[in-house]
Chains A and B, each alone.
Chain A
Amino acid sequence: MVKSEGNRLAVALGDVSLQNPIIPASGTFGYGVEMSQLYDINILGALSFKGTTLNARYGNALPRIAECSNYGMINAVGLQNPGIHEVINTQLPLLYSIFHQPIIANVSGFSIDEYQQVCSLLDKEERISILEVNISCPNVHQGGMAFGTTAEAAAEVTRAVKQVTDKPVYMKLSPNVTDIVAIARACVEAGADGLCLINTVLGMRIDIRRRKPVIANKYGGYSGRGIFPLALRMVNQVAKSVSVPIIGCGGVETAEQVVEMMMAGATAVEIGAANLVQPTICKQIIEDLPSLLDELKINRIEDIIGIV
């Protein structure tokens, strides 16, 4: 897509131009097919599809979903996905046929080798613009998150992935750490082209009548509107200490919050759990942004990135 001259919503994640900063977050939009029946998904800035591992994964036992009153939800899906080969052979051709904006491939792994294998296969996919490497999935035992909780491991995954691809690599960070800035810096020093934060916050609900955790996996990832202030603070801290583009994510569901995220330092913004309950939310935000910019006397949305 050519960035149109007059488009006030246009942003750039490095060399990747987006017609607007709105991106559905991995795991909350499938591969776009269901949502495309609801609205024209080509109005989106980009799309991040479900986390992909080398082999097919069924995921965790049920129930996988718990509610957190009006603030959001906990999920412990456990990276259910058909595996990279099936994704490349079946899901991606379908996605390419319905979606013509930049595609972000979300990658997960249980070993450095797995991250490398998945990324090198995705590297051959011309239509994929960015690899978003998830080192933060809190729902799978020893998976993913272990790599996101120390600066050394995060850097090691970053270096390994950079070796096998020429595509921009964005590391997706976990909030479940003591010092997210140290991990962000380590990723950037190891060659990350950008960062995406945050993934879900490790949480829990208990069914007080059954005296058991609501979800079978016991703990899961909390997301939705309740985590917005936490995500915003982390985006701001990281933005102040690195110079690569940041995709801000966590609890966003209004145009106002998109502006907040961008003022905090995000170049683009992912919308997650809100898609599940308001499936047209991304469309709504994109439609609401121009008049909000008018009201705030903002000419081009990229002018506000990191101003706070």
Chain B
Amino acid sequence: MLQRDWIIVSNERLTEQVWQMSLAGDTTDFKAGQFVEVEVPDFFLRRPISVCNAKEGLLTLIYKVVGGGTKRMTEMKKGEKVSLLAPLGNGYNLCKSGDRPLLTGGGVGVPPLYMLARCLREQGKQVKVVLGFNTGCEVFYENAFKSLGCEVELVTMDGSYGLKGVVTDYLNDDYSYYYACGPKPMLTAVIKKLGVEGEVSMEERMGCGFGVCMGCSIETTNGAKRVCKDGPVFESRLIVERS
């Protein structure tokens, strides 16, 4: 983990509420499934955002505007400096993928799956991706995944685009290992449907993002773990269902 300034290369709207920011800096050592902590002017805490892609000095983040911090991020301009703590967290375990990995995510759980898909495709794996969104106008990155050569399935709650329903309606057992990222109820449903032979990326409110404050500590089947440092990716068998 390093605290460094990055330069904004672009910061553009992808959908009504979702933006993509690209930053220039040193991307060596970045792994799929890791995240960064973004310093946002006028806010005390940094904002944790997943690495959507990191390659050859270019880092891509995709963020949804949900509150003041992410709203302020949309006002950051090309050419400006941004302080990041990066890279943070453990990332996905690519060794476990097998030949036919399944990647499934919902909403802003989709971004980290992109770099994962790219890395798995570079290893020649046959990658299946099932992405869930609320509605058709919220869909992003469908073509990005297709361009990597993934088999892509889109699911929307209202059926306005792709299949109708939730991702778990369309997951079958034709895969070697699974990776999931999305809201907690979705992850719980995925684990329930597919079992524990896979891994999921968790989200919690964070103080530091690098393991010193215990703000993000969750109970797992193997004791307390920090989402920021021991995660955000956890083997599904570690995740306990909580109300």
Please list the residues of chain A having a beta carbon within 8 angstroms of any beta carbon in chain B.
27-30, 34-35, 37-38, 50, 58-59, 62-73, 75, 77, 80, 224-225, 273, 275-280
Q: Are A73 and B2 in contact (CB under 8 A)?
A: no
Question: From residue B88, how far is it (CB to closest CB) to chain A in Å?
Answer: 10
B residues near A65, Cβ cutoff 8 Å: 45, 205-207, 213, 215-216
Q: In the complex, A35 Cα to B1 Cα: how many Å?
A: 9
Main secondary structure of the interface of B (DSSP, over half): loop
B80: CB under 8 A from chain A?
no
Of the candidates B1, B46, B217, the one having the most CB atoms from chain A within 10 angstroms of its own CB is: B217
Q: In the complex, A204 Cα to B218 Cα: how many Å?
A: 22
A residues near B153, Cβ cutoff 8 Å: none
Question: From residue A33, how far is it (CB to closest CB) to chain B in Å?
Answer: 8
Q: List 9 A–B pairs whose Cβ atoms lie within 8 Å, in order of A's numbering.
A: A28-B212, A35-B212, A62-B218, A64-B217, A65-B215, A67-B43, A72-B44, A77-B215, A80-B217
B residues near A225, Cβ cutoff 8 Å: 44
Question: From residue A165, how far is it (CB to closest CB) to chain B in Å?
Answer: 26
Chain B 206-243: CB-based contact to A (< 8 A → 1; otherwise 0): 11101111111111000010000100000000000000
B residues near A71, Cβ cutoff 8 Å: 44
B39: CB under 8 A from chain A?
yes
A residues near B208, Cβ cutoff 8 Å: 28, 275-277, 279
B85: CB under 8 A from chain A?
yes
Of the candidates A50, A68, A70, A71, the one having the most CB atoms from chain B within 10 angstroms of its own CB is: A70
Question: From residue A141, how far is it (CB to closest CB) to chain B in Å?
Answer: 18
Q: In the complex, A229 Cα to B218 Cα: how many Å?
A: 34
Chain B 115-145: CB-based contact to A (< 8 A → 1; otherwise 0): 0000000000000000000000000000000
Q: Name the one of B44, B45, B213, B229 contacting A28, with C-beta atoms under 8 angstroms.
A: B213
Q: Are B205 and A63 in contact (CB under 8 A)?
A: yes
Please give me the residue from chain B that is nearest to A76 by CB atom: B215
A residues near B1, Cβ cutoff 8 Å: 34, 37-38
Q: Are B205 and A279 in contact (CB under 8 A)?
A: no
Q: Are A279 and B215 in contact (CB under 8 A)?
A: no
Q: Are B205 and A62 in contact (CB under 8 A)?
A: yes
- Give the residues from 183 to 221 in chain B that come closer than 8 angstroms, CB to CB, to chain A: 204-208, 210-219
Q: Which 10 A-B pairs have the closest CB atoms?
A: A30-B212, A276-B208, A65-B215, A63-B205, A80-B214, A34-B211, A65-B205, A65-B207, A77-B214, A67-B45
B residues near A29, Cβ cutoff 8 Å: 212
Q: In the complex, A199 Cα to B206 Cα: how many Å?
A: 20
Q: In the complex, A29 Cα to B46 Cα: how many Å?
A: 17
B42: CB under 8 A from chain A?
yes
B160: CB under 8 A from chain A?
no
Contacts A37-B1, A63-B204, A73-B207 given; does A276 touch B43 at CB 8 Å: no
Q: Name the one of B2, B215, B218 contacting A38, with C-beta atoms under 8 angstroms.
A: B2
Contacts A37-B1, A279-B3 given; does A62 touch B44 at CB 8 Å: no
Question: From residue B89, how far is it (CB to closest CB) to chain A in Å?
Answer: 12
Please give me the residue from chain B that is nearest to A66 by CB atom: B205
Question: From residue B208, how far is it (CB to closest CB) to chain A in Å?
Answer: 4
B residues near A59, Cβ cutoff 8 Å: 214, 217, 224
Q: Are A276 and B42 in contact (CB under 8 A)?
A: no
Question: From residue A75, how far is it (CB to closest CB) to chain B in Å?
Answer: 6
Question: From residue A72, how far is it (CB to closest CB) to chain B in Å?
Answer: 6
Of the candidates B85, B208, B219, the one having the most CB atoms from chain A within 10 angstroms of its own CB is: B208
Q: Are B214 and A50 in contact (CB under 8 A)?
A: yes
B residues near A224, Cβ cutoff 8 Å: 44
Q: Are B45 and A77 in contact (CB under 8 A)?
A: no
Q: Name the one of B3, B42, B207, B224 contacting A75, with C-beta atoms under 8 angstroms.
A: B207
Chain B 41-80: CB-based contact to A (< 8 A → 1; otherwise 0): 0111110000000000000000000001000000000000
A residues near B68, Cβ cutoff 8 Å: 69
B residues near A30, Cβ cutoff 8 Å: 211-213
Q: In the complex, A66 Cα to B69 Cα: how many Å?
A: 13
Q: In the complex, A63 Cα to B216 Cα: how many Å?
A: 8
